[in-house]
Structure 1
C-alpha cells in the first residue's frame, strides 16, 4: 500500500505523507485475539516510511500525526524516535510536520501529544513542526515559495494566508468544515498554483478558483469509505470462500435470509444487511464520520452561537478522549 505523494518542485524531490493517526484504537469488529495487531501494523508502516524518507529532499507530514491530542507516551516516543533517526541519518532532508485538528484539544490550555513530540525533536535542526499557534511557515523549495498552514483552532483558514505563495500545504476540509474550508479564493489571490491537503482521507484532486487541489489521502485507510479496496473490502457471502483475507478489513453483505455462519480470518469483520429493495442498512458508529465537519455544518444551519459551539465541542472531545 503506497499512499504517499511524490512530487518534484523544480529539481527538488518532495515526499508527502497524509494523516498517520498514530495511537488510533481499532476495536469495532476486531476479535480478541486480533486486538492490537492493526495498531502495530500502523506504527510499523509509519516507521518504514520514515526509514525510507532519505530519498527525498523534503519530507512533509500533512497533519494528524496523532489520532488524539492525548495518546500513550509510548506512541509519542516511537513517533519522535522515527523522526529523529531519519533526520539524523539524512541531514540534507528537511522534515516538516504540520499540526492537524486531531493533534489538539478543544481546551486550548491543555498540552498534548504533539507538544511533547515537538519538545523531543526540537533539537534536531532539520525537523520543523508547524504548530497550531502559528499562522503559517514559508520555505523556498526548487525556486517556488511554499507555504505550510496548520489547522488553527480559532482563526478561519483564509486569515492565515497573508503572503504570496506558489504552492500551499495544509490540513483543510474540502467540502464542509466551516472556518477550516480550504481558502482557494484567498490562495488564488496570493498566486497559488496548487494546494496539497491532508485531513480528507480518500485521495482525490479537483480545481477550484483556478487552484489545483490535491487530497493526498491518509497514510492508511481507516474505514470503508476511505478505501478503494486496498485494505477495506466488501464481499457478498458467496465470495468469501477461498480468499486470503488475513490482512483485510472485511464487510460482508448479507441478502435477506442469509446468515454468516462461517469463521472469517481477517483483521476486522462487520456485517451489513441488504434489503429486498436494494437499500442498504448498517450499524453505524460515530467513529466512521468526520464528526467535527458534521458538527460545523449543523451548527451553521442552526445558527448556534460561537461560545455555545465551543462548549459543546469541548464536552465532546473530553468524552471521546475518555473512551
Structure 2
C-alpha cells in the first residue's frame, strides 16, 4: 500500500478526503498547549491554507516532460557508448538534455509548482524521480562552450539549478512525508478539522521516508561540477584531475544509492506506476554509470597501446 493510499484510508474512517489533502499539503504545523499529558501529550493543528491542485492537464504535461527528460538522457548516453556522431551530438545535446540551459528552467518550474500538481504525475510522490534524472544528466553530460567565460556561466547555472531544484523538491515532499506520518501515527482530537493528538513529537519530513532533495547527493554533485569548472579554467593538473574524478565517482555512488532506495521504497508501497517510474530512473542511472566505466576502460586501453611502443623503443635503444 502506498503512503498516499495508507494516509487516505486512515482519514476515510474520519470522513473527508479534503481534510486528507490539507494535512498532506500542510506546510506549517502548530503545537498547542495540552493538559492531557497521558493520552494527548502533543497536540498539533495545521496552520497553513491549501489552495487546491492544478487541473489534470497540467499533470499530464509534467508527465510528458518527465518522460522526455528520461528518454533524451538515455538516448544521448547510448550515443556516447556507441560513439556515433559524438561531435555533433555534443553540440546539440546541451539543448536537449534535462541539465541543459533550455530544459533546466522547465524542471525548476515544475518543481517550484509541484505542491499543487497532484494528478497524473503527483510530484509529492514522483518528484524525486525528476530530480534524479536532472542529477544524472548533469553528471553524465558536460556543458560544451567555446570560451572559458561562457563555459563558466553554463556550469554555474547548472550548479544553481541543481541547488534550487533540491530546495523546491524538499518544499514539495517534506510536507507530504510529514502529513503521512501525522495521519498514520496520530488520532484526531475533534476540536478542529486538522487537530491531532500524538504520543511523540511531529518531525518535519516524518520518519518513514529518509530521502531528501537537499542531501549529501546534491552537495556532492555541486562540488563535482565546481571541480569541473576549476579544471576547465585553470587546467587539468594531476591533483585537480584526481580530485574531480573522485568527486564525480562519489556523486555517482550517491545518485545510484538514492535511485535504488526509491525503487525499493516504491516496490514496498506497491503502487505500480511509481514502481515503473523509479525502475526506469534507476535504469537510466546505471546506464550512465556503465557508459562512464566503458569510456574509462576504452581510455585505459588506448593509453596502454600508446605506452607499449614507447617501452619497446626504449628497450631497443
Instruction: Give your verdict on TM over 0.5.
Output: no
Between structures 1 and 2, the one with greater strand share: 1
- Bigger Cα Rg: 2
Q: Which has the higher contact order (CA 8 A, sep 6+)?
A: 2
TM-score by length of 1: 0.28
